A = this chain, B = another copy of it.
Amino acid sequence: MPLDAPLPTDAELAILRVLWAHGPSTVREVQDHLDTDQGYTTVLKHLQLMLDKGLVTRDESGRAHVYAPAVQEADTQRRLVDDLLDRAFGGSARQLVMRALSTEDVSRDELDQIRDLLAQIDDDDHDDA
């Protein structure tokens, strides 16, 4: 198990999201799927730095190197939320959730799903406590 990689920067996160969505990719494939219009060598450089940081792995067997995410999406998301929680909410997940839900466009469906999640957490609690 690799020593835990640092949190990705903005540009790195954007690249990770491409890799999470499309699976292992070459530099050019990543570049094509990015929203931004970054130069090829810029994307390449990012991936090289990310390799150093342990955020991605790469397969060098082929003509073009193929990069794959070395960190999980769920894990990274949780760490980012924890980070924001510390920085802006004094650790209060309740407040953060309230703010997230006050972002008007949360559909009825999403609310239902969140309700289900709450119920499930409650069930789990019954086992423990």
Instruction: Please list the residues of chain A having a beta carbon within 8 angstroms of any beta carbon in chain B.
Output: 10, 13-14, 17, 74, 76-78, 80-82, 84-85, 87-90, 92-103, 105-106, 108, 110-111, 113-115, 117-118, 121-122, 125
Contacts and interface: CB of A to CB of B under 8 A. Distances in A.
A111 B126 CA distance: 14
Copies in the complex: 2
26 contacts: A13-B87, A13-B88, A17-B88, A74-B99, A77-B95, A77-B96, A78-B102, A78-B103, A81-B100, A81-B103, A85-B100, A93-B100, A93-B101, A93-B110, A94-B106, A94-B110, A94-B114, A97-B97, A98-B114, A98-B117, A101-B117, A101-B121, A106-B121, A108-B125, A115-B115, A115-B118
